[in-house]
Structure 1
Amino acid sequence: MRLGLQVQNFTYPEGQSQLGDSFGLIAERAERAGFYSLWVMDHFFQISIVGPAENEMLEGWSALAFAAGRTNRIKLGTLVTGITYRHPGVLVKTATTLDVLSHGRAYFGIGAAWNEEEHRGLGIPFPSLAERFERLEETLQIAQQMWKGDESPFQGKYYTLERPLNSPQAVQKPHPPIMIGGSGERKTLRLVAQYGDACNIFGALGVEGIRGKLEVLREHCERLGRPYEEIEKTTADRLTLTADGRNGTTSASELLDHLGQLAELGVDQAIISLLNVTDPEVFDLLATRVIPEAEKFKVAGRS
């Protein structure tokens, strides 16, 4: 099993003047600890589960490009980009640029978007949920076409691209892995089965909830003739990690128990957001007691 680190919070003890150094150090520590991937949210205002809207929030793709320059191996992705924020042709170009400059380390995380507050605040149109999903599907079609090198015109309901040229092309072949975030059973998981290389399911659903979502994904795959095994299954959790679980935190052994349960469900990669991410000791703990053991877990359904 692989572990990923999502950085959700950019309000650090050192203050805004040192934000770049603090975030860069987190990226470096994550790579040294053995994390497989590093993720940031694609938001412009901080979300309420993390802090007030006024807290520092970095633009996601720029932050990943910065992290790419501070690291060498770790994969990089947004968890996940809202479809409303950027024109699809520009978004594919942005993701391709990250993949090229990082020597093939980009994920293409994408979803239907949800945070109406930041849309209204920044003047970004916020269509209905149904329209956002239609736009998401068109964007997935455009991304696959551009990464194939097909420059023929694209004419959709919402987007028209006369010449979807993408040069240079992505390093990863056939393209950076497409992760579609969310666990909606009728639309989101169907899009994963049809277009995605990876799904992401909230760990807050619990073991049985995750099991149920994966079964729905399997059913969509069967209907579409897509091998279920081709899709990388990932989860997202938030926790404070300590060696002994003091003061209601999660201990290393508790985290490993949880990761073992996820592996039994067939989860390939567990992405965690650490509430104590600025503590260097937590990375030592992960490097010595968690990640090496988690990598030994056999993921159900994988040879």
Structure 2
Amino acid sequence: MRIGLQVPSFTFPGGPEQIAPVFGRMAREADQAGLHSFWVMDHFFQIRGVGPSEEPMLEGYSALAYAAALTEQITLGTMVTGVTYRHPGILVKTVTTLDVLSGGRAWLGIGAAWNEEESRGLGVRFPPVAERFERLEETLRIAHRMWKGDESAFEGEHYALERPLNSPPALRTPHPPILIGGGGEKKTLRFVAEYADACNLFDGDDLPRKLDVLRGHCERAGRDYAEIEKTSLSLFTGEPSVDEAVETIGRLAERGIDHAIFSQGTGQDLAGVLAEALPQVEKIVPAGR
């Protein structure tokens, strides 16, 4: 069972001057604790449910590059990049750069995007949902092509790349794992089956059904369901105990989750709690494995 930590907020005591030292300490503690993954949201405004738009929000890949320089083992990714934020060729170069500089520890976390407020605020076009999914599928095809070293021209409905050169190549083989975030049953989970190495779903009552839907898409695509890493995102209210963390991780494993990611709450010592829980859960074998 793999354990990850997500940092969704940079509103730390002491103001902006404390963002770098506090965030850096979180990354180092997660790494030294032996956690598998470290994540930031790829947003430009703070999102509803976490805080008001005006709260501090770091650009995701710059933050991960900073974390990469301070860590040694933990894998690094966004939870998740909205497909409309960056041109696909540039996105693949960005993730490849993170992978090379981190020694092969990058993920490509990606989704269809949802936060229209930040797009409108910063002047980024926010297409209708159908077009966003079309762009997501083209981006996934481009990522696979570039990470295979295929420089032949790509001509899609929304993107045209004359020579998708990607040098240096990523260090992770066969490529940085592609994680698609979201539980949409018709398109998102189908794209997971067809293009991704991992999915990310919210920890909730509908989790078993979402995994069943993914299993069906894998059968139709001729994909081995077991090949896909099933990740979930959970949030503890208040300060969690080690026992609570162990119980939650065990429950997720019983549902078939391979990689439990926990979102850092305000004032929580979540890395410390997860570090204490790790010896009890790292040998848990998720259902279906």
Q: Which TM bucket (shorter chain)?
A: over 0.9
> For residue 12 of structure 1, what is the aligned residue in structure 2?
12
Equivalent in 269, 287, 296 of residue 275 of structure 2: 287
For residues 160-192 of structure 1, the C-alpha deviation after alignment (integer angstroms, 9 at most, x for no partner) is 000000000000111100000000000000000
The amino acid that maps onto 1:234 is T
Matches of 1:59 and 1:140, distance apart in 2: 22
1:162 to 2:167 alignment: no
Matches of 1:96 and 1:298, distance apart in 2: 31
> For residue 133 of structure 2, what is the aligned residue in structure 1?
133
Q: Where do residues 105-116 of structure 1 align in structure 2 (5 Å cutoff)?
A: 105-116=105-116
CA RMSD of aligned residues (A): 1.1
1:273 to 2:263 alignment: yes
> For residue 214 of structure 1, what is the aligned residue in structure 2?
211
For residues 235-282 of structure 1, the C-alpha deviation after alignment (integer angstroms, 9 at most, x for no partner) is 00111464xxxxxxx432122112111111221101001214x555x4
Q: Do the aligned partners of 2:26 and 2:271 also contact (CA within 8 Å) in 1?
A: no
Matches of 2:84 and 2:46, distance apart in 1: 17
Matched residue pairs, number? Answer: 289
> For residue 102 of structure 1, what is the aligned residue in structure 2?
102
> For residue 247 of structure 1, what is the aligned residue in structure 2?
none
Identity %: 61
What SS class does the counterpart of residue 11 from structure 2 fall into?
coil
What SS class does the counterpart of residue 232 from structure 2 fall into?
strand
What SS class does the counterpart of residue 91 from structure 1 fall into?
helix
Q: Which runs of 4+ in 1 moved over 6 A?
A: none
Task: Return the offset for 1:297.
Answer: 1.3
Q: Do the aligned partners of 1:113 and 1:132 also contact (CA within 8 Å) in 2?
A: yes
> For residue 73 of structure 2, what is the aligned residue in structure 1?
73
> For residue 244 of structure 2, what is the aligned residue in structure 1?
254
Where structure 2 has 5 or more consecutive residues not aligned to the other structure, the ranges are: none
What SS class does the counterpart of residue 125 from structure 2 fall into?
coil
Where structure 1 has 5 or more consecutive residues not aligned to the other structure, the ranges are: 243-249
The amino acid that maps onto 1:231 is I
> For residue 245 of structure 1, what is the aligned residue in structure 2?
none
> For residue 300 of structure 1, what is the aligned residue in structure 2?
287
For residues 188-210 of structure 1, the C-alpha deviation after alignment (integer angstroms, 9 at most, x for no partner) is 0000000000000011x22xx11
> For residue 246 of structure 1, what is the aligned residue in structure 2?
none
Q: Do the aligned partners of 2:238 and 2:268 also contact (CA within 8 Å) in 1?
A: no
Matches of 2:6 and 2:238, distance apart in 1: 14
Taking structure 1 as the reference length, what is the TM-score of the superposition?
0.93
Matches of 2:35 and 2:129, distance apart in 1: 34
